[in-house]
């Protein structure tokens, strides 16, 4: 008679190690940043060449949103305008340094939600840096308004991504603070 050998039950798959989670976050972060960069540059190409917005000036899309061409010589949403070539390249250097900081932070970030937020910032920033290097200005075109009230400056996908990423980081920092264990009395 053949002896029946009990086979051990299959062990559950091992939980991913911290290194594996970090690797997955990096892949997610770089993929998302690249997708935002492509979306930003693709939309700028469409409004520039397909819709020829520069020549048209503006296009009404809805009663509260229109496309309107603007050469943005400042940083995100028109702040810190660069009037000279020196100031232009100074803005390029400054935004590149900030992007390098965001890249380093994203590389080390262990939290998936923060990685996503940083990817938004990085993708948007690189898109605007590319414009400034290639054109000398950033192409802005999105004008959200309510009647005659324009609560936002004219912006682009990169600006929106930067804003969303920063807001996500702020919300997470303000609402999900980690509690420290109370110290024991000595």
Task: Give the DSSP letter string of 32-93.
Answer: HHHHHHHHHHHHHHIIIIIS-HHHH-EEE-SSSEEEEEEEE-SSGGG-S---SHHHHHHHHH
Q: Is residue 182 part of a domain?
A: no
Read off the pLDDT of residues 133-163 as tens digits, 9 standing for 90 and up.
Answer: 999 999 999 999 988 888 888 999 999 999 9
Residue 186: is its pLDDT beyond 60?
no
- Closest-CA residue to 77 (of 135, 146, 157, 167): 157
Residue 144 phi/psi, 5-degree rounding, is -95, 125
Q: Which helix (H) or strand (E) holds 184?
A: none
Per-residue pLDDT at 39 exceeds 90: yes
Give the pLDDT band (50/70/90) at residue 175: confident
**How open is the CA angle 47-69-159, to the nearest 5 degrees?**
80
Residue 11 resides in a domain? no
Q: Quick check: is 31 in a domain?
A: yes
Strand partners, 67: 59, 142
* Between 84 and 166, residue with greater pLDDT: 166
Closest CA to 128 of 39, 53, 52: 39
* Residue 180 domain flag: no
In a domain, 129, yes or no: yes
pLDDT higher than 80, residue 128: yes
Regarding predicted confidence, which is higher, 62 or 8? 62
Task: Answer yes or no: is 76 within a domain.
Answer: yes
In this prediction, residue 185 has a pLDDT band, given cuts at 50, 70 and 90, of very low
Task: Determine the Cα–Cα distance for residues 120 and 32; give it in Å rounded to an integer.
Answer: 7
Burial of 36 per CB tally in 10 Å (0-12, 13-18, 19+): buried
User: Which pTM was predicted?
Assistant: 0.82
**Does residue 56 lie within any of the structural domains?**
yes
Q: How far apart are CA 72 and CA 86, in angstroms?
A: 16
- Per-residue pLDDT tens for 97-120? 999 999 999 999 999 999 999 999
The single residue listed with the structure tokens 């190690």 is: 17
**Domains in the chain, number:** 1
Mean of all residue pLDDT scores within the chain? 88
In a domain, 145, yes or no: yes
Q: Which domain holds residue 111?
A: 24-175
Residues acting as catalytic residues: 140, 159
Position 179 confidence tier, pLDDT thresholds 50, 70, 90: low
| Mean pLDDT across 51-72 | 94
């Amino acid at each position: 008679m053949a002896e029946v050998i009990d086979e051990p039950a299959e062990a559950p798959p091992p939980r991913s190690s911290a290194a594996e989670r970090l690797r997955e976050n990096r892949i997610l972060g770089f993929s998302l940043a690249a997708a935002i960069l492509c979306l930003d540059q693709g939309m700028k190409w469409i409004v520039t060449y397909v819709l020829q917005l520069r020549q048209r000036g503006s296009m009404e899309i809805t009663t509260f949103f229109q496309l309107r061409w603007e050469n943005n010589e400042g940083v995100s949403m028109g702040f810190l305008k660069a009037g000279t070539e020196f100031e232009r390249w100074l803005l390029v250097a400054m935004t590149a340094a900030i992007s390098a900081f965001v890249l380093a932070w994203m590389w080390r970030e262990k939290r998936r939600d923060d990685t996503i937020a940083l990817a938004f910032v990085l993708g948007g920033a690189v898109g605007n840096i590319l414009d400034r290097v290639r054109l000398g200005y950033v192409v802005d075109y999105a004008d959200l308004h309510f009647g005659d009230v324009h609560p936002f400056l004219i912006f682009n996908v990169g600006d929106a991504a930067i804003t969303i990423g920063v807001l996500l980081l702020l919300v997470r920092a303000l609402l999900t603070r980690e509690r420290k264990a109370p110290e024991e009395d000595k």
